Amino acid sequence: MRITKLHGLAILVTAGITGAIWYHHPFSPSRDQEQAASPGGDSGLKTDLHETSLMLPWRQDVLVLTPWLAPIVWEGTFSRDILNAQYLQKNLVTGVVTFAVEKYVQFIEGFMRSANKYFLAGHQVNFYLFTDNPEKVSHLQLAPENQLFVIPVQNGSRWQELSRSRMHILSSYIQGQFQHEVDYLYSMDIDVQLLAHIGVEIIDALVATISSWQVTQQENKARETRPESQGATPEGQGDFHYTASFYGGSVSEVYKLTRACFGGLMEDTENGIEARGHHESLLNEYLVQHKPTRLLSPEYYWDTELSPSIIHVKRMCPVHRDSS
């Protein structure tokens, strides 16, 4: 059909409106992906900051504050520059604790390489690796500010035993050693890769990561349905479901958490019950009673193939394990 002047005008007006909307939107997903590559900095943010007003939420598509006023961290809600400056003011050291037993030792190298690159880049990080195979830990090149401590452990014969002993090990090592070496401590699964920066936006007293949205046909195994088990979370009281694959906080808060979870696991075993999802359900029950001071969006542990529009960055993902 013929393009009339009216068509031309309509196109121009639409383009103008679209441009105006785009200009005023402080963050676009493509820019976020670019920012993921730069070491902790946010290039576009300084110029955008002068546009900041109280009338303009940065992310309108997601919840950024819990009903108890804990921030929920999504890409586009924070300025890492400002947070880095605050972190440096306080001279803090952060630790990471992870377990690699039996066949999980195959993940050590991938984990360490990606965590060294993307976890609190530019800041001092102590990696504490508990493993039953310390000799298998090959020489890893770390950033000058980072250190790796390899701590040998016995392997338990069952996964449940490891979960129980993991909490026990953590709490006793915090008390005996970590509290003197770090201010903040984060527990991570070993079978993960970091794909984008995880920076000081995670630093707070008690921090948990919201579980990803899983579209599967399996029952959510971590949700305990037997109330007599210590891991039962009453319906409607757990506002969020948190993953046990990535959580942390100040050493004192993580100590209290691991002590409580270890206690819960001990009770379950004595009663002959094993909390399904092991320490994940106990973690969730603890966090209902002791609300996290900061939540990390599912960006921080993304374990499905899906890509909903609200997930702009996938920062940490599990790697597929070998069947061997």
Residue 147's φ and ψ, nearest 5 degrees, are: -135, 150
Asked if 241 touches other proteins (CB under 8 A), the answer is yes
Among 135, 235, 305, 322, binds other proteins (CB under 8 A): 235
Q: How many residues does the chain have?
A: 324
Task: Assign residue 10 a region (left: φ > 0; alpha: ψ between -120 and 50; beta: otherwise).
Answer: alpha
Asked if 53 touches other proteins (CB under 8 A), the answer is yes
Nearer to other proteins, 97 or 204 (CB): 204
Nearer to other proteins, 27 or 118 (CB): 27
Asked if 69 touches other proteins (CB under 8 A), the answer is yes
Asked if 54 touches other proteins (CB under 8 A), the answer is yes
Q: Quick check: helix, strand or coil at residue 98?
A: strand
For residues 246 and 296, the answer to whether their CB atoms sit within 8 Å is: yes
| DSSP label at residue 256 | H
**Using CB under 8 A as the criterion, what x/- string covers residues 302-321 for binding other proteins?**
--------x-----------
Is 34 an annotated catalytic residue? no
Residues 73-92 contacting other proteins, CB under 8 A:
73, 77-79, 82-83, 86
* Identified catalytic residue from 201, 280, 285, 299: 280
242, containing H or E segment:
strand 242-250
**Using CB under 8 A as the criterion, what x/- string covers residues 203-222 for binding other proteins?**
-------xx-xxxxx-xx--
Asked if 3 touches other proteins (CB under 8 A), the answer is no
For residues 195 and 229, the answer to whether their CB atoms sit within 8 Å is: no
Among 55, 176, 272, 322, binds other proteins (CB under 8 A): 55
Residue 149 CB neighbours (<10 A): 14
At position 297, the amino acid (one-letter code) is S
Shortest gap between Cβ of 15 and other proteins (angstroms)? 26
Select the span of 165-173, 185-193, 236-244, 269-277 touching other proteins (CB under 8 A): 236-244
| 260-269 residues labelled b (16+ CB within 10 A) or e (exposed) | bbbbbbeebe
Dihedral sign from CA coordinates of 37, 42, 45, 46: negative
- Work out whether strand 294-296 and strand 206-210 pair parallel, antiparallel, or are unpaired: parallel
- Chain contacts with other proteins (rule: CB under 8 A): 45, 49-50, 52-58, 60-73, 77-79, 82-83, 86, 201, 210-211, 213-217, 219-220, 223, 235-236, 239-241, 291, 294, 310
Which residues form the catalytic set? 280
